[in-house]
Amino acid sequence: MSGYKANILVVDDEPDIRQLVQEILQDEGYIVYMAGNAEEARRLKLRHQPDLILLDIWMPDTDGITLLKEWGEDELFVSPVIMMSGHGTIETAVEATKLGAYEFLEKPLSLARLLLVVERAVDAHMLQRENAGLKQQLSVVNEPVGRSAFAERIKEQLKRLAQHDTKVMFVGESGVGKELYARFLHEHSGRKNGPFIDVAVGSIAPENAAVEFFGKEIEGAVFPGLLERAHGGVLFLAEIAGMDAQTQLKLLSALESRSFLRVGGTEQVHVDVRVMVSTRVILENEVKEGRFRQDLYYLLNEVTMEVLPLRKHSEDIPALLQFYVDYFVQHEKLAFRKFTMSAQNFLRNYIWPGNVRELKNLVQRLMILGAGDDIELAEVKTALGTVLDSVAVEQQDSVPIFFKLSLKEAREQFEKAYLEYHFEKNQGNVAKLATAVGVERTHLYRKLHALNIKE
């Protein structure tokens, strides 16, 4: 994977073997750590979370089979293990395979076979990570829609940027799709098989930020943080202006050194992460007002990408309407409906204060709450009245769909709409939001996180 070097831990009590394997693997571009016994192997595994482990069977303190069994009982351990032995037997190989070993290599090592097996094991591990990431993103639409000059220009720029590991800052109003463009960039980059970890910065309470970003260690167990989970891929920080001062300082240090200490840990963890951020506020003003660190701003703002509000590329609106109709038919099994020409023309001239997010939500409401094949102009105008009025649009049976929800679902819909409105009104500032809605800040952080309110 371009831009990413896999970490390999070599565990063998013979110094000559360790050095030979290290030199060969380093020549192939891998990062190699070496351990001469089981105790050192445990420590280095905990510290570096390797992508692959080469493990000798015969060692002076604890044999490799016992160590493999020990690691196999750790639910968080996912690295493939290749066993090595100069005294290998069929029974030993079978036992290692049953315990989860990826492959068994006999000594003296065939260097050609070693490289082949290592490459396959690393590729399998990366594919496993990619599939895990895809499962979390099944509902995410990653191709920006539209053929306006803006849409074509930004997609072309992002494809060029994808060839480099530059940090990118996406700037634009709420709801314009900044995360979507970040994902588009990621999918055209050499890191596309790595994870894309998106973080709603405003939903992380300051007192929890260290554990969230850097993870923790408790009695030998490792709980990876956001930076570690993004290793080999992208960490996307949505609405970076909402980060508290202490977390800004710690993040700056981690990004500059590409390393950090887990909470409760004693050894540095090294990561390879591309960082992208988004902001709806003018971050230079936040720097001038002393609310955002100037050094972190310059570190993150290597390239700025401005994402225009929908009203400034309104020629894309018909295509977006059609796209989201098809999307909800496919993903939510809603009945197909189409916008009449008069409805489309009206929406092309609408100001869209909530941008593409508002358009998506409008299409969803009209498809859920409306009836008939056509979406007429009058129905669109009614739906654009207010959020609360829109949920009372009646279907043919004259019973509002809102009343058919459970009390919990109805409450969640109201809370999400209510908090999104006030979150936007207060420019994404959680402290101001807490004052405006009369909710204690710690509880509010949890609520924003639970309702997935970000950007």
User: What does the pLDDT read at residue 349?
Assistant: 86
The token pair at 122 is 């690393």
Rounded distance, CA 112 to CA 186, Å? Answer: 33
User: What does the pLDDT read at residue 226?
Assistant: 93
- Percentage of the residues of the chain whose pLDDT score is greater than 90: 45
Q: Which residues pair with 216 in a beta bridge?
A: 223, 263
Query: Residue 96: helix, strand or coil by DSSP?
Result: helix
7-136 shares its CATH topology with 149-306:
yes
CATH of domain 149-306: 3.40.50.300
CATH class of 7-136: alpha beta
The mean pLDDT of the chain is: 84
Please tell me which of 117-131, 217-231, 283-297 the model is most confident about, judged by mean pLDDT.
283-297
Best CA proximity match to 224, nearest among 183, 265, 266: 265
pLDDT at 395 over 60: no
pLDDT at 141 over 50: no
User: What does the pLDDT read at residue 189?
Assistant: 92
Rounded distance, CA 391 to CA 96, Å? Answer: 59
pTM of the complete model:
0.62
- pLDDT tens per residue across span 68-84: 888 887 766 678 999 98
Give residue for tokens 């007192």.
207
Best CA proximity match to 210, nearest among 235, 236, 179, 243: 243
Rounded distance, CA 46 to CA 29, Å? Answer: 22
pLDDT at 449 over 70: yes
User: What does the pLDDT read at residue 168?
Assistant: 96
Residue 316 pLDDT grade (very low, low, confident, very high; cuts 50, 70, 90):
very high
User: What does the pLDDT read at residue 88?
Assistant: 57
Q: Name the CA dihedral angle for 71, 208, 280, 386, rounded to a multiple of 10 degrees.
A: 100
Contact by Cβ (8 Å): 225, 261: no
How do 221-223 and 216-218 pair as beta strands? Answer: antiparallel
Give, for 33, the enclosing helix (H) or strand (E): strand 31-35
The full set of domain ranges for the chain reads 7-136, 149-306, 310-404, 408-450
pLDDT at 331 over 80: yes
User: What does the pLDDT read at residue 1?
Assistant: 41
Query: Residue 394: helix, strand or coil by DSSP?
Result: strand
pLDDT at 389 over 70: no
In this structure, which topology does domain 310-404 adopt according to CATH? Helicase, Ruva Protein; domain 3 (1.10.8)
